[in-house]
Amino acid sequence: MEAWARTAEAIRGTSSKLEKTRLLGEYFAALDEQTLPLAAIYFTARPFADRDQRKLNLGYAVIRTAVCELAQVDDDALGASYMRHSDVGDVIEEV
C-alpha cells in the first residue's frame, strides 16, 4: 500500500499525462497477477462495476473517525492539520 500511495502522490504532483502514464506503468509492472487488478481498481476510486449502483458513502465523518482512531489524535489535531493542508491525503500523511 505504501508503494501505491507514493505512486499516487507522484501522479498528483505532475500535470504531464505522459509522466502520469509512465509512473502508473512502472508501478503496475512491479505488481504480481493477484495484486495488479486490485491496484488498478483503487486508482479508479470506483470499487464497483459501472452497472452496479452501490456507493461507498464514505463521508468525511467516517474518514475522520477512522483516522483519529488509527493515528490516536483528537478532532482538534486533525482539524488543525486540515487547515494547514486542505487535502485529506496530506492530513492523513501528517498525522
Cβ atoms of 58 and 68 within 8 Å: the answer is no
Residue 91 CB neighbours (<10 A): 23
What span, in angstroms and rounded, lies between the C-alpha atoms of 83 and 85? 6
Q: What ranges do the domains of the chain cover?
A: 2-44, 60-94
Residue 46 CB neighbours (<10 A): 12
Q: Give the residue carrying C-alpha cell 512502472.
A: 26
- Specify which of 30-34, 36-40, 64-68, 89-93 reaches the highest per-range mean pLDDT: 30-34
Lowest mean pLDDT among 39-48, 65-74, 81-90: 39-48
Residue 58's pLDDT band (cuts 50, 70, 90)? low
